[in-house]
Each structure stands twice: as C-alpha cells, then as structure tokens.
Structure 1
Amino acid sequence: MDDRLSKRLVPEELWALIEPLLPGFVPRPQGGGTAPADERAVFTAVVFVLTSGCAWRMLPPSFGVTVPTAHRRFSVWTEAGLWRRL
C-alpha cells in the first residue's frame, strides 16, 4: 500500500483517536486461518471502501488485507458500536 494514500485516508491524529476504541481481536471459533491482520491496515481498507464507494469485492490487494477480513472486521466494529463512538 502506498504510504501516502494510507496516511491521507487515516492520518496519525485520526489513528490515535481510533486505536483505543477498536475491540480486541478474537480468533474465529472454527480455528485455523492466519495470524490477526494489522489493525491499521484493516481500518484503512475499510475507510477506503466507505469513502470511495468501491465494492467490497473490488478492494485493491495493495491494502494488504483480504476482502473477507476487511468486511468481517467492519461487521464486528459495527456491532461493537465503533462508528457511533467516533
């Protein structure tokens, strides 16, 4: 991911506000999979989808996050009330 785009979508000041609000990572109950994704990369990918109008399935791989991971984390954050608290 181009660091300039990442910093423009989620500047340091915004990340400092958001990071403490993110719920902790909970492994999937079915097990397997890989290690947790970088929270900032996932958040940046979600912001990109929400602000660009890009379809989830068209999320560029340059974000370093898979589409299912980004969408699943968006759903978890929505259920946790992240967007209302922001």
Structure 2
Amino acid sequence: MRKGGQLPWIVSDELWERIEPLLPKIERRYRHPGRKRFDDRKASCGILFVLYTAIPWDFLPQELSFGSGMTCWCRLRDW
C-alpha cells in the first residue's frame, strides 16, 4: 500500500469526475434490454488492478467485486 493509504487501483472521486465524461455512453435497448451492464467505475478499478499487479486477466479475484477479468478486458478493448 502507498504512503497515502489509498490503494493504487481504486479510482478516487476526483479522478472519476475527470474520466467519466470521456467514456462512451451505452444506452440499453428498450425492447430487449438484456442483462444490466457492469458499472464502468468498478471495471476501471479492475483494469487498474490487473495492470498494477501484472496478473493475467483470468486471475482477477472475484472477491474484489471488480467483475470478471474478461469483463474488464473487454471494457478496456472497447474504450
């Protein structure tokens, strides 16, 4: 953990305010909405965790609630 106490893969509120407007807005379909999209902020934390720890995408721990490794990887690819 860093000296400031915040984990390096947690996106702070200030950082999220700057990142969120840059991400594409995906609207749900009206007729067949399907499954609800995973939260962008949690996915970005998962991406930062994988990049910081250099683990394979498949090994992203589910206990962190950042979604699956494949969800985070696909979100990074789409962004």
The TM-score, its normalising length taken from structure 2, stands at 0.71
Deviation beyond 4 Å, 4+ runs, structure 1: 4-8
- Residues 66-81 of structure 1: matches in 2 within 5 Å? 66-77=68-79
- Partners of 2:33 and 2:73 in 1: how far apart? 18
- Residues 1-86 of structure 1: matches in 2 within 5 Å? 9-25=10-26, 34-64=35-65, 65-77=67-79
Structure 2 residues not aligned, in runs of 5+: none
CA contact (8 A) 1:42 1:73 kept: yes
Structure 1 residues not aligned, in runs of 5+: 78-86
Of Structure 1 and Structure 2, the greater helix share is in 1
What secondary structure does 1:47 align onto? helix
**Relative to structure 1, is the Cα distance of residues 33 and 6 closer, same or farther in structure 2, using a 3 angstrom cutoff?**
farther
The TM-score, its normalising length taken from structure 1, stands at 0.66
Considering only aligned residues, what root-mean-square deviation do their CA atoms show, in Å?
2.6
The count of corresponding residues between Structure 1 and Structure 2 is 71
Q: Quote the offset at 1:50 in angstroms.
A: 1.1
**Relative to structure 1, is the Cα distance of residues 37 and 73 closer, same or farther in structure 2, using a 3 angstrom cutoff?**
same
Q: Percent identity?
A: 31
**Which amino acid is 2:19 matched to?**
I
